[in-house]
Each structure stands twice: as C-alpha cells, then as structure tokens.
Structure 1
Amino acid sequence: METLLTYFETIPSLHRSLILVGGITFFWMLEGAVPLFQFNYKKWKHAWPNLFFTITTIVINFGLAFLLLRTSDWVTAHSFGIINWLPKLPLWLYVILGVLLLDFFGAYLAHYVEHKVKPLWMVHLVHHTDHKVDITTGNRHHPIESVIRFAFTLLGVFVVGAPIGIIMIYQSLSVVFTQLTHANIKMPRGLDKAISYVFVSPDMHKVHHHYLLPYTDSNYGNIFSIWDRLFGTYMELDRDKLTYGVDTFPDEITNSNIKDLLKQPFHKYRHPTTTDASEKVD
C-alpha cells in the first residue's frame, strides 16, 4: 500500500491521461462485443458533443488543480480533517477511508445537491439528456457543472483532510467507475448485482438515467454504493425497462447539438415527472 500511495503522490500526467483515453478505448471496443442495447446510431456522430464536454471538463480541472494541491498541502501540514483526527490507522484503512469519504463529498453529495437545487439541476441536465448512454456519456458535463463538481471535491479534500496521494487514487478510480457504469455493456445480472452491494455497478447507475422519476432521483453514487444504501436513495429497475433521457426535454436532435446543450441550463426550469405506479419497484 505504501508503494501504491507513493506512486499516486507523483503520478505523471501521461499516466493519468492513459487512464482516461485507455478506458474510453477499451470500453468503446467492449460495447461492440457485448452491448446492452443495440443502438441505431452513428457512434462517432453521437460521441462528438460528449467528447467536446469531456475536453472542457479536462481543461477546467487542469486549470483549477493548483487549488487541490494547495488545500491538500495545508490540511496535511496542519493535520486537519477527519482522517487526521482519528486514532492512528493502518495505512490501507487510512487510504480506503480517505477515498470513501472523498467519494461522498465529490460524487454523492455533489450529485444529490444538483438534483435537488433547481438551478443546479438545469446545469446537470446536459448529462441526463443523452438518449443513448454509452462510454462517451460519462464526462458529458456542462462547463458550469465541471466547476461545481470541482468545488465539492475541494470541499471534500478540506473536510476529509486528504493528502495528494489519496486524492489522485480517488480521481483515478472515479474516472474508471464513470467509464464502467456508463458504458453500453451487458454484464451478467448476477455479477452486476453482486458488485452493487459494495460498488456502483453498470445496471445500478443506468437506473439513474431512466427518463422518469423517481428513478432519475436515485443511485447518485459514483464509486461506492454504500452512500445510496445508507441514505435511502438506492433503487432498482429491470434494465430491459430502461429508457434514457429526460421526459421534459425529449428532442434528441436538440440534445445532440453542442450549441443547444451549452444553452440548456438557461431554459425555464423543468424536472422529470413521476412514473406510473405500475412501473415502480418495491
């Protein structure tokens, strides 16, 4: 564990880029081999707006990264934050707890708030209006949302007291799980279910992309499923019943246009409607 932590403390930018690009490439090919849905689309045409927003997310995170480093240096120097206030822990437990808590602040809490605060929902809407969820959907975030998500991660670093090595482990895992859970792949149901007891699985997250409430407002987690189970936001829906998108923004052509997507947060507030009782899962 010490070797792993040391590596991530100084992980080269090239290696971080390889995680992102390599993951997209791997799951892109896997989608062709074991697709969950046989989408009738031109994959590159669908991918273009999503990759555009992936690039804007990278640029924003890179531009603000110095804030993470400075905050991490400060909490480490002052022994500030939850994991620094606990009795001395084995290194492996210290790292796991740090990643777990960063996942709460940087992913679950940020995601939950985006769904509950109207203006933030309109920003987050860009992510949900993809009608064909696949590997490229994972980083389809409006630039404003990229800043919001970064702010929650920064809050997490401060409250958790995370050193830079744990931050890099968390961000690397976050990239991998984002790719895994959005990829259009069919995992054996039993394996997917088993994974979902601890981690966010593909089927679990895709429930969140169903076009109607209450499913849209469920399964907010990114890496660990514990937060959804703990706070009562975990839901299940048979993957064969999934319909992607948001029912109040049904125009797939508009939802595939970069210019329209950039303007989407400034539309009049609209939220998905609730499903019929017959569709609800106990």
Structure 2
Amino acid sequence: MNEIIAYFSTIPSSHRSLILIGGITLFWLIENAFPLFQMKYKKWNHAGLNFFFTFTTIIVNFILAFILIQTANWTTEHHFGFLNWLPEIPIALYTIMGLLLLDLIGAYLAHFVQHKVKFMWRFHLIHHTDTWIDTTSANRHHPGESVIRFVFTTFGVLLVGSPMWMVFLYQSLSVIASQFNHANISLPVKLDAFLSYFLVSPNMHKVHHHYVLPYTDSNYGNIFSIWDRLFGTFTSLPKEHIVYGVDTHMQPEENNKLKNLLHIPFQESRSAKNS
C-alpha cells in the first residue's frame, strides 16, 4: 500500500496520459474481439468525434487542476474533511473509504444532479446522444459538462479531506472504470451480474444508455455499484432490449455532427418521453 501511495504522490503527467491511452487501447482491442453488439458503424469516425471531446475534457481539467491541488493541500494542512476527522485506522481501510466517498460525490452525485437539474442536463445530454456506445464514449462530455464534473470532484475532495495522492488514484481508477463500463464488451451474463454487486459492470451501465425513461435515469455509478443499490437507482434490462441514444435526439444530423453537439446546450430544450 505504501508503494501505491508513493507512486500516486508523484505520478508524472505522462503516466496519467498513458493510463488514459492504454485503457482505451486495451478495451478497444477486447471489444473488437468479443463485442456485446455487432454495430454497423464507422468505428474510426465515431472515435474521432469522441476523441475531440476527450481532448477538450483534458484541457478543461488541465486548466483547472491548480484548484484541485490547492483544495487537496488545504484539507491536509488544516485537517479538514471526513478522513481527517477519523481516528487512526489501517491505511487500506482509509483508502477504500476515501475512494468510495469520492466516487459518491464526484461521480454518482454529479451524474444524478445532471439528470435532475435542467441546465446541467443540457450539457450532459451530449453524452447520451451517442447511438454507438463503445469505450471511446466514456469521455464524450461537452466542455461545459467537464467544468460541472470538475466542480463536483473538487467539492468531493474538500468534504472527504482527500490527500492529493488519493485524488490521483481515484481519477486513474475512474478513467479505467468508465472505459470498461462503456466498452462494447460481451462478458458472461453471470460474471457481469456478479460484478455488478460491487462494481459498475458493462451490462449495468449500458442500461443507463437506453434511449428512453425510466432507464436513462438509473445506474448513475461509475466505479462502485453500491450507491445505485443503496439509493434505489439500480435497474436492469436484457441487453437485447437496449437501444442506444436519447429519444429527443435520435437523428444522425443531431447526434453525430460535432457542430450540433457543441450547440445542443444552447438550443431549445425538448421533453423526454416515458416508457
């Protein structure tokens, strides 16, 4: 455990980039070999669009990173936040508790709120317009959503009292988890179901990308599935019933054109349909 802490305390930016690129490459190869769905689409064109949003996400996080670093350092120096108020506990338990809470605030809560607050949904909608969910879909976030997610992550670091090494560890796990649960991977049904009791599995997250309510408003988790199960937002749907996208933007010119995707948050909103 000490080796992990030491590594993530000084992790180079190049290594963080390798985690992002390595994860996409790994799951890209796996989903090509063992696809969940045989999707007829131009994979490289689709990836190019999603890579643009991945790049803008990196830029937003890079520009705002000093805020996150200052927040983590402040909580450590002033012994602020949940972890700093605990009695001394084993470092492994300390780490697991920190990661769970960061996932709760930075991922689950951020995701839940974006579905419930209208102006935030306008930005998050771009992620849901993807009608071909694969590992490149993981970082398909409008720059505006990247800012929103950053705010929740920073708020999480403040409340949890996370040291910077834990923030870097959390972000690395979050990237890999998102690439994994978006990947077009066919896992044995029983294995996927077993994983979903602890982690957000591919089949579990694919339900969230079904094109109509109430499925769109479920399975908000990213790393850990405990929050969906605890707060009653977990649901399931046989994979043969899943249709990707969002019912308000199912036309290719709306969901597969960069210019329109960037403009969606500023267009007249449309009401989703229940199913």
Please state which band the TM-score falls in when normalised by the shorter chain: over 0.9
CA deviation after TM superposition for structure 1 residue 29, in Å: 1.2
Q: CA separation in 1, counterparts of 2:128 and 2:65?
A: 26
Residue type of the alignment partner of 1:135: T
On the 8 A contact 1:115/1:217 being kept in 2, the answer is yes
Q: CA separation in 2, counterparts of 1:32 and 1:89?
A: 44
Q: Secondary structure at the match of 1:217?
A: coil
Is 1:155 equivalent to 2:155 in the alignment? yes
Structure 2 equivalent of residue 198 of structure 1 = 198
Is 1:49 equivalent to 2:49 in the alignment? yes
Is 1:272 equivalent to 2:269 in the alignment? no
Residue type of the alignment partner of 1:60: V
Output one character per residue of 1:128-167: Cα deviation in whole Å (capped at 9) or x when no partner: 0000001111000000000000000000000000000110
RMSD: 0.8
CA deviation after TM superposition for structure 1 residue 42, in Å: 1.0
Is 1:34 equivalent to 2:31 in the alignment? no
What does 1:102-181 align with in structure 2 at a 5 Å threshold? 102-181=102-181
Q: CA separation in 2, counterparts of 1:245 and 1:272?
A: 12
What does 1:184-195 align with in structure 2 at a 5 Å threshold? 184-195=184-195
CA deviation after TM superposition for structure 1 residue 202, in Å: 0.5
Q: Secondary structure at the match of 2:139?
A: coil
Output one character per residue of 1:167-190: Cα deviation in whole Å (capped at 9) or x when no partner: 011000000000000011101111
Structure 1 equivalent of residue 98 of structure 2 = 98
Structure 2 equivalent of residue 253 of structure 1 = 253
User: TM-score, structure 1 length as denominator?
Assistant: 0.96
Residue type of the alignment partner of 2:138: G
Q: CA separation in 2, counterparts of 1:240 and 1:34?
A: 16
Using the TM superposition, name which of 122-131 and 247-256 deviates more. 247-256
CA deviation after TM superposition for structure 1 residue 94, in Å: 0.5
Q: CA separation in 2, counterparts of 1:31 and 1:54?
A: 19
Output one character per residue of 1:197-226: Cα deviation in whole Å (capped at 9) or x when no partner: 011100001100000100000000000001
Structure 1 equivalent of residue 222 of structure 2 = 222
CA deviation after TM superposition for structure 1 residue 68, in Å: 0.8
Structure 1 residue ranges without an equivalent (≥5): 276-282
Is 1:63 equivalent to 2:63 in the alignment? yes
On the 8 A contact 1:119/1:269 being kept in 2, the answer is no
On the 8 A contact 1:216/1:272 being kept in 2, the answer is no
Structure 2 residue ranges without an equivalent (≥5): none
Residue type of the alignment partner of 1:103: D
Q: CA separation in 1, counterparts of 2:271 and 2:158?
A: 32
Q: CA separation in 1, counterparts of 2:123 and 2:75?
A: 31
Residue type of the alignment partner of 1:118: K
Q: CA separation in 1, counterparts of 2:254 and 2:213?
A: 22
Q: CA separation in 1, counterparts of 2:203 and 2:253?
A: 26
Q: CA separation in 1, counterparts of 2:96 and 2:156?
A: 15
Residue type of the alignment partner of 2:232: G
Percent identical pairs in the alignment equals 59
CA deviation after TM superposition for structure 1 residue 270, in Å: 2.2
Q: CA separation in 2, counterparts of 1:46 and 1:143?
A: 18
Q: Secondary structure at the match of 1:24?
A: helix
Size of the aligned set, in residue pairs, is: 275
CA deviation after TM superposition for structure 1 residue 12, in Å: 1.0
CA deviation after TM superposition for structure 1 residue 47, in Å: 1.2
Structure 2 equivalent of residue 11 of structure 1 = 11
